Amino acid sequence: MPETENVAARPAEVHDVDVDVVVVGAGFAGMYLVVRCRAAGLSVVVLEAGTDVGGTWYWNRYPGARCDVVSMEYSYSFSSELEQEWDWTEAMAAQPEILRYARHVADRFDLRRDIRFSTRVTSAAFEESADRWTVRTDRGDRITARHCVMATGCLSAANLPDIPGRDTFTGRLLHTGNWPKEPVDLSGRVGVIGTGSSGVQAIPVIAEEAAHLTVFQRTPTFTFPANNRPMKPEIAAAYKEHYREVREAQKWSAAGMSGFSPSRGTTILQRGERRSDTPSEPRLLAALDADERRAAWDRLGFGIFTYFKDVYRDPVANEYACALYRDHIRSVVADPATAEALTPVGYPVGCKRQVLDTRFYETFNRPNVDVVDIAADPITTITPDGVRTARRHIELDTLVFATGFDAMTGALDRIDVAGRSGTRLRDYWAEGPRTYLGLQVAGFPNLFTVTGPGSPSVLANVIVAIEQHVDWIVDTIVDLDARGMRTIETTAEAEARWGAHVNEVAAGTMYTAPTCASWYLGANIEGKPRQFLPYVGGFARYRATCDRVRTEGYDGFVLT
Ligand code: NAP
């Protein structure tokens, strides 16, 4: 079936309807919600700001955008026909292919008839007298619903730093997370601010087109080779043959990945392996001397980070691994000053989201690419024709902000969400988000957040996390209806208990190391409270908790 781009313009008529479930966002979560609600006999309307489905993969069209989870596993599991008929062309698919997949799913299951595109939600308010949510949009729609599901994404609210003079720039100013649909001319003098996952993916591709590329880097990153390659037919065939076992293993894995071995046809579950297994003789980097550590790198390369079990647990081992990594940069980047600028120091590997790249360091050996260390030579202003740092002015035709997102809470903060007694979600979360299981907030009955703060979300294969949340939410709504219950609402006590657990499992990991400043902690947004946002206790453990909560009569929730 050909996958089509939705070209529907902003709908002409204003919507004023009442449904069982209103959903905000038509990314992979919103789309699956349509599938599940329909199958459960629930009426559903999805409101989407973009002109088509795809969410993250609709907005992040920057050059080089690509997934870093293997495509065979970064896909829906709810339809075996869909699994069998879709063919991925690369081990890790690029953005255009993932967007095509999303469109294919929309076509195949006729999802768009329940989605209102080009429609941005402005507010959602709980009407206590009617136990209903009223959702309003920028085009005057008014949707009332028994349940409201925020499928707004974890990385969807772009962070466009307010650098002085930003709006005076007369060239083209772009954000990777809000990239135009039409082709962008990058042949001139291009600047990229940011070296997180987006910047690291975009820089090598832009470098090939630009007359000159200047990378403005505040914090050097740790990035590992993606080792992407064309999909081998025998690998795709092995997956397709064993998809049910693969999906089951994904569900009960640490991070939504099955550990499937195409040659053996078995998953991590079937082999009885667990990421947490401790080998009988623990492989510890900290136990090796300098020569042995060097020999280990020569033998294993980037494999040392997972081979040695203490790298992400013991600060000493972590620093040994970082030192080997830094030597690696010096061996790849020809100019010593550039290598030095690109070298991460002062924070552990494993603190920030792991970045994967394709020829990132090699790109800095090109004559048309240079890096400005803006920690040492800060940007003072953006001028009409470029960027001024403390030491110089760099003329640019295009300036790309690869500056990330107000993660996990930003998209919700941008909607005026009001619960009981008109309490605003953004006020309730002023000191940091409080949730139970990342699914619900006290005082906001029948409001659900898909992959919300306090759930594994960004630390798991997010499609697996989405399916688990959507299944839980829809199964719960169906169950409530069967029991004649009108509302489900968590309590402040349950939130406090869960929040303490989320912090407890994050404590002592590299994610919360004292020297770590990441978007997981809200550290990338000025004024955002510092709180570790996702749940790091493991996806399988989290799923088991959610299942148990339901079987034990919705422990931590009040049903009325
Ligand atoms: P990011 O990881 O937050 O990186 C943003 C970059 O911009 C950082 O280098 C940051 O520097 C810099 N920056 C932010 N504000 C700045 C400012 N005011 N001045 C100068 N530099 C500034 O954002 P991202 O690269 O868009 O990635 C976000 C997340 O999206 C990833 O972690 C990942 O979860 C997901 N993602 C995944 C993929 C993939 O799967 N392959 C690709 C893209 C994105 P500091 O480090 O100093 O803050």
What residues form DSSP beta bridges with 448? Answer: 149
Proportion of the chain above pLDDT 90, given as a percent: 95
C-alpha span between 335 and 364 (Å, rounded): 9
Q: Which domains does the chain have, with CATH numbers?
A: 16-157+406-559 (3.50.50.60), 279-350 (no CATH)
4-13, 138-147, 355-364, 547-556: which has the minimum mean pLDDT? 4-13
Q: Is the pLDDT of residue 200 over 50?
A: yes
Ligand 1 pocket, CB under 6 A: 66-68, 155, 161, 176, 193-199, 201, 218-219, 353, 356, 374, 402-405, 458, 519, 524
The residue whose C-alpha atom lies closest to atom 24 belonging to ligand 1 is: 404
pLDDT (mean) for 130-141 = 97
By the 8 A CB rule, do 304 and 321 touch? yes
pLDDT of residue 2: 43
pLDDT of residue 196: 98
pLDDT (mean) for 1-16 = 63
Q: Is the pLDDT of residue 301 over 90?
A: yes
Ligand 1 atom showing the smallest separation from residue 219 Cα: 47
Distance 352 CA to ligand 1 centre (A): 9
Q: Is the pLDDT of residue 226 over 90?
A: yes
Question: Which of 545, 534, 544, 550 is CA-nearest to residue 499?
Answer: 534
By the 8 A CB rule, do 297 and 328 touch? yes
Sign for the CA dihedral angle at 426, 429, 434, 437 comes to: positive
**pLDDT range class, residue 300, cuts 50, 70, 90:** very high
Q: Is the pLDDT of residue 60 over 90?
A: yes
pLDDT of residue 281: 64
Distance 145 CA to ligand 1 centre (A): 36
Distance 200 CA to ligand 1 centre (A): 9
CB atoms near residue 346 (< 10 Å): 9
Annotate 141-176 with b (16+ C-beta within 10 A) or e (fewer): bebbbbbbbbbbbbbbbbbeeebeebeebebbbbbb
Write the DSSP symbol of residue 528: -
**pLDDT range class, residue 250, cuts 50, 70, 90:** very high
Question: Which of 546, 463, 533 is CA-nearest to residue 499?
Answer: 533
pLDDT of residue 7: 57
Q: Which two tokens stand for residue 87?
A: 């063919």
Distance 178 CA to ligand 1 centre (A): 14
